[in-house]
Amino acid sequence: MPLETVKQLIALAKARPGGMNVSVGGPGSSGDLGARLFNHMAGVKIVSIPYKGTSPALTAVMSGEVHAMFGSAGSVAPHVAGGRLRALAVGSAQRSQLAPGLPTISEAGLPGYLSEALHALFAPAGTPAAAIALLNKEVGNYLRSQEAQGIFLKAGIEPSPGTPEEFTAIMKSEMERIGAVLKAAGSRS
């Protein structure tokens, strides 16, 4: 695709309703939800083609089987660096440390867009609060270390440790926000 910007993608999708598609790493994946949110916010109909994982989704976009892909930074970064893919923007609220010159989708033409994969450590219900607090403190300390930053950034993940209460609030907010988009789209997933 000769696309270089998010605005160009939106314009092309509006000119070809239902005539464009994107690969995603499976139904309900973060890429699938990101694509659905993009459609909803941009007022376009880009068809999501779910694959059985990220590798087949990457192969599909690199071979030209699909027009574009909503994927994670870690999975696409080597292919962008190798010139096999062109990155248009990132779905995060701020520019990524992994590609600081790349705008966010919000900056690039779809104000308010935010789609990030959230990672967390969970414990069984009923785990004592003191144990949760200690675990959170130790994991947070490690995630802030240079060693962990290097490991995670190499994998395409930007760690941002927080408290269990902060994560709970984020999860509730995201379930409401993304749930409303899915409901508006008539989705059951």
What confidence tens digit (pLDDT) does each residue in 84-118 have? 999 999 999 999 888 888 999 999 999 999 998 88
Domain count across the chain: 2
Write out pLDDT tens, residues 117-137. 888 999 999 999 999 999 999
**Distance of alpha carbon 101 from its chain centroid, rounded?**
18
Average pLDDT for 8-12 = 95
Kindly state whether residue 1 falls inside one of the protein's structural domains.
Answer: no
> H or E element: which one contains 20?
strand 20-24
Domain limits for position 149: 118-189
Tell me, yes or no, whether 94 and 10 share the same domain: yes
Rg of the chain in Å (alpha carbons): 18
Prediction pTM value = 0.86
**Which domain-ending residue is among 116, 149, 165?**
116
